[in-house]
Amino acid sequence: SVAIAILLAIHTSNAIAQRLKSLTEITEQVKQESNFTLQAPVTTRDEVGVLATSLNQLIHGMADYTQELQQTEIQLIQNEKMSSLGTMVAGIAHEMNNPINFIYGNLFFASDYIEDLLSLVELYQQYYPNPDPEIQNQLEEIDLEFLAQDLPKIIASMKGGAERIREIVLSMRNFSRLDEAKIKPVNIHEGIDNTLVLLSNRLKPGIEVIKQYGDLPLVDCYPAQLNQVFMSILENALDAIEHKSVESCPSPVFTIRIQTELVDQNWVVIRIADNGPGIAAAIKDRIFDPFFTTKDPGKGTGLGLAISYQIITHHRGKIEVASEPAQGAEFVISLPI
């Protein structure tokens, strides 16, 4: 009987040791992989079973805590980005707006003065068709006829450039809208257009933006935040297109299609689609995860779409993605009205 008792004790000890080893392995795996979906098996109601249950509760609590930390970090990063953007926009508005307005306004006076001078020269030529040789040589040297034709074109080109700078500065101010911290009725199409202006340097030849705007009401939102979502999605579309262009045939035609519509009189739906390489099925479910990125190191934080998801959720809306490899990707934003 003593031998049997010893054997039972050894067997029980080994069983307990094995179960404790299993709990230790799970604990170590959670620590190494930060995998909070792991669960310890609870097969008994003894002390080891209670320990396993407590471990599962601890893992679940750590998962919730980690998620809260990530969301808090995202919010802090978003606030910091918006604050930095506000400082940048204010500086640009102050440093560029006044000089460009000065240049733009004076170009109209310069244009009028040049027209007056050219008219005066033409009048002189009518009344003095045979000038002195020195004057005639100077006229030929400067090619007065060409100058009279080209100078107005130069002034018109300068006006166009100045107007373009004013448009970009205005678009940046409208894009950030940092002076509007409260929800307000906003024209969604203006936000998209302002974002496209800021991305115009990346809209290279061969990339066509197709806008199919529906008849939308004003949407109550935080305009700066919503524009940040448009920027993130459009930048991802351009990144995808640029990546695909490296592997494509010469002179490929790429498109970014932006569609808006009112659905059931209750939802404004914005679709932004590209014909880039698409998103692999293995990662499609992770693209809204914080810090997840497929870009090369140093080229992406993995926060753009995570912040976009948080912003749209904060607006009581939805953001979804549909994609197939080699078929492009489409982001669908739905906002309640």
What is the overall mean pLDDT for the chain? Answer: 79
Inform me whether the pLDDT recorded for 67 exceeds 50.
yes
Q: Which domains does the chain have, with CATH numbers?
A: 2-76 (no CATH), 180-337 (3.30.565.10)
Inform me whether the pLDDT recorded for 332 exceeds 60.
yes
Of the chain, the percentage scoring pLDDT greater than 70 comes to 75
Least confident window among 68-77, 78-87, 148-157, 261-270: 78-87
Give the C-alpha separation, 330 to 258, whole Å.
10
pLDDT for 179 equals 47
Taking residues 310-316, report their average pLDDT. 88
Residue 219's pLDDT band, with cuts at 50, 70 and 90, is very high
pLDDT digits (tens, 9 = 90+) for 154-197: 888 888 888 878 777 776 665 555 445 578 899 999 999 988 98
pLDDT for 60 equals 76
Residue 262's pLDDT band, with cuts at 50, 70 and 90, is very high
Give the C-alpha separation, 49 to 23, whole Å.
10
C-beta separation of 191 from 268 below 8 A:
no
**158/332: higher pLDDT:** 332
**57/17: higher pLDDT:** 57
C-beta separation of 246 from 293 below 8 A:
no
pLDDT for 266 equals 92
Q: Is 176 exposed, middle or buried (0-12, 13-18, 19+ CB in 10 A)?
A: buried
C-beta separation of 188 from 213 below 8 A:
no
pLDDT for 209 equals 94
Question: pTM of the entire structure?
Answer: 0.55
The tokens for 313 are 């959720």
pLDDT for 256 equals 95
Inform me whether the pLDDT recorded for 294 exceeds 60.
yes
Give the C-alpha separation, 268 to 218, whole Å.
9
Residue written as token pair 């060409």: 146
Q: Residue ranges of the alpha helices (H) in the chain?
A: 2-33, 47-127, 133-142, 144-176, 188-198, 223-247, 281-284, 304-314
Residue 105's pLDDT band, with cuts at 50, 70 and 90, is confident
Q: How far is CA 302 from CA 34, 140, 176, 319, 325, in A?
A: 18, 64, 21, 17, 20
pLDDT for 249 equals 46
- Answer left, alpha or beta for residue 50, where phi above 0 means left and psi between -120 and 50 means alpha: alpha
Taking residues 86-107, report their average pLDDT. 74
Name the amino acid, one letter, at 210: I
Q: What is the DSSP string of 156-168?
A: HHHHHHHHHHHHH
Inform me whether the pLDDT recorded for 82 exceeds 60.
no
